[in-house]
Amino acid sequence: MTLLEQTPDGPETAAPAVKKAKQPKQTRPDTQARPPASDAFLDRFFHITKRGSTLARELRGGLVTFFTMAYIVILNPLILGGFSADNAPTDVAGGWLSAAQVGAVTGLTAGVMTILFGLIANLPFGLAAGLGINSFLAVAVIHEVTWPEAMGLVVINGILIVLFGVTGARTAIFRAVPKELKAAITVGIGLFIAFIGFVDSGFVRATAGGPPVQLGENGSITSVPTLVFIVGLLAMGILVARKVQGGLLIGIVATTVLAAVVEAVFHIGPGTPENPGGWHLNTPVLSGQLVSAPDLGLVGHFDLFGAFGRIGGLAATMLVFTLVFTNFFDAMGTMTGLAKSAGVAHKDGTFPRLKSAFIVEGFGAVAGGATSGSSNTVYIDSAAGIGEGARTGLASVVTGALFLGSMFLTPLTSVVPLEVAAAALVVVGAMMMAQIREIKFTRFAVALPAFLTIVTMPLTYSIANGIGVGFVSWAVIGAASGKAKKIHPLMWVVTAGFLVYFARGPVSALLGA
């Protein structure tokens, strides 16, 4: 039995949701006559029929996931790099990263790791540079160390996560989480990605005074790109509600065409302080050279232990601790929600090839640091492809191949405006809300931790924060309610870790880090 055929959690069996998928409604004719699994190599290799899917669905799902994730090829260079030292985050020694090089390694690493994840874990999850960690590096870490030293810390973070996966520690922690809390994590992620969609589209904006956020500009929709988002959201919602095959993909393509027409007519331009009503991140227009060779000069540009010499072992260790906790639990929560959405999760929340998935995701962090593109992790945007029907790793292979192509076709990648991708995220967020039915809100010892998990994710813009609040409240409330014996020992261990994580600022100051 090869690695690709092994499942650390036993044979690859279908969860109850998959069994239901084998008796589809008449409205999904593409599943009425599935070929036997022995008819095609791809079907046997990826268990397409066993998962209740089809080749067409996997291809569509892979395309949709790429389109909803493609913004990272544009956004990551803007966060980590620039076109000169004047417009790029500079490190403690005045060094900076080239935006063009960051864009190239972003596509390279996302492509390679997503393909590997699809082949080894056989799950429809896309991997790319994590937005939480890359922002943390650019805003905080490089003020203490150089960029190569910061990426060395990311590599160490990835190695530790791989070790947690290989030893089974990560799987054990995953199994220790109560199923109600796992359901709450899924629902919280649904709200989180919907909130991301609202913010990215300009439908929700921060305010200078008064409430933290508001509808549009001063309580009303004033920008054309936000109006395009609303049209796309309604269009995708109608297509999905009517069970149109490829509804999300059709909606993304159609709304992108609409956005391009709108830009051609009104010349809106990119959003800037002088043009607040412009497009967020991507302007839907093709211009200039379409194909260019990628510059991969940042590959291998990291210093594994340099940070320890520059700022001391304790301070560097605290930075690694923060990276590991964020990476570890963000990915765990994301995979929980995606597996449930894909219908491949078992009753206890686990899913096929769980251990392999954790190990490959850990290598994504190593690869991201080694290429200076920041830690790569599973993306919640993959839920869009799952909503399109993706159930296997074949969709990930498609997504990964498109990421590799994006290294050469950056202008084409940037045609889809963020407002269009945002509409897809909101639709998928609504789909993920269905998991709320698994939470017993009549038991307040369950209801409060679940509620805190759900609301903390979007309100703090962090999956890890939501999981941490859920762990702590579950353990404390459960113990105080006289049910301490029912709380798994690993829950207490992780709860203690989260308490340190939440208080890492004072702890670092106390230790002099």
Residue 377 β-bridge partners:
128
SS (H, E, C) 468-506: HHHHHHHHHHHHHCCCHHHCCHHHHHHHHHHHHHHCHHH
Amino acid code (one letter) for 158: G
Q: For residues 221 and 148, what is the distance between their CA atoms, to the nearest angstrom?
A: 43
Coil, strand or helix at 127: strand
| Pair of tokens at residue 162 | 């791989």
Burial 293-332 (b: 16+ CB within 10 A, else e): ebeeebbeebbbebbbebbeeebbbbbbbbbbbbbbbbbb
Q: For residues 279 and 297, what is the distance between their CA atoms, to the nearest angstrom?
A: 31
Q: What is the largest CA-CA distance in the chain?
A: 67
Strands in 137-286 per DSSP E? 204-206, 213-215
- Which pTM value belongs to this model? 0.72
Which is nearest to 329 in space by CA: 183, 498, 154? 498
DSSP code, position 86: G
Q: How far is CA 171 from CA 26, 168, 270, 381, in A?
A: 38, 5, 44, 23
**Other CB atoms within 10 Å distance of the CB of residue 135:** 14
179-201 vs 463-480: helix crossing angle, rounded to 10 = 150
Query: Which positions ≥6 away from 452 have C-beta within 8 Å?
Result: 466, 469, 470, 473
| Pair of tokens at residue 107 | 């596509």
Q: Which residue has the tokens 């790429």?
A: 66
CA 198 from chain centre, in angstroms, equals: 16
Q: What is the pLDDT of residue 83?
A: 67
Query: Which positions ≥6 away from 143 have C-beta within 8 Å?
Result: 91, 92
In order, the DSSP letters of 422-468 are HHHHHHHHHHHGGGGGGS-TTSHHHHHHHHHHHHHHHHHT-HHHHHH
8 A C-beta contact, residue 112 and residue 404: yes
The pLDDT profile of the chain, 513 residues, written as one tens digit per residue, is: 333 334 434 444 444 444 444 444 444 434 444 554 445 789 999 999 999 999 999 999 999 999 888 878 877 887 788 767 776 789 999 999 988 899 899 999 999 999 999 999 999 999 999 876 887 788 778 888 999 999 999 999 999 999 999 998 888 888 888 888 888 887 887 898 888 889 888 888 877 766 777 776 777 787 899 999 999 999 989 998 887 867 877 888 899 899 999 999 999 988 888 888 888 877 888 766 677 888 899 999 999 999 999 988 878 888 888 788 778 877 888 898 899 888 888 877 788 898 999 999 999 999 999 999 999 999 988 988 998 899 999 999 999 999 999 888 766 666 778 888 888 888 878 887 877 888 889 999 999 999 999 999 888 887 778 888 999 999 999 999 888 888 888 889 889 888 888 887 787 677 765
What digits encode the pLDDT tens for the residues 425-481? Answer: 888 788 878 778 888 899 999 999 999 999 998 888 877 788 889 999 999 999 998
Q: What is the pLDDT of residue 358?
A: 92
The torsion of the CA quartet 11, 350, 424, 126, rounded to 10 degrees, works out to -60
What digits encode the pLDDT tens for the residues 92-141? Answer: 999 999 888 998 999 999 999 999 999 999 999 999 998 768 877 887 78
Q: What is the pairing mode between strands 127-129 and 97-98?
A: unpaired
Query: How many residues comprise the chain?
Result: 513
Q: For residues 337 and 349, what is the distance between their CA atoms, to the nearest angstrom?
A: 9
Residue 97 β-bridge partners:
81
| Pair of tokens at residue 108 | 């390279």
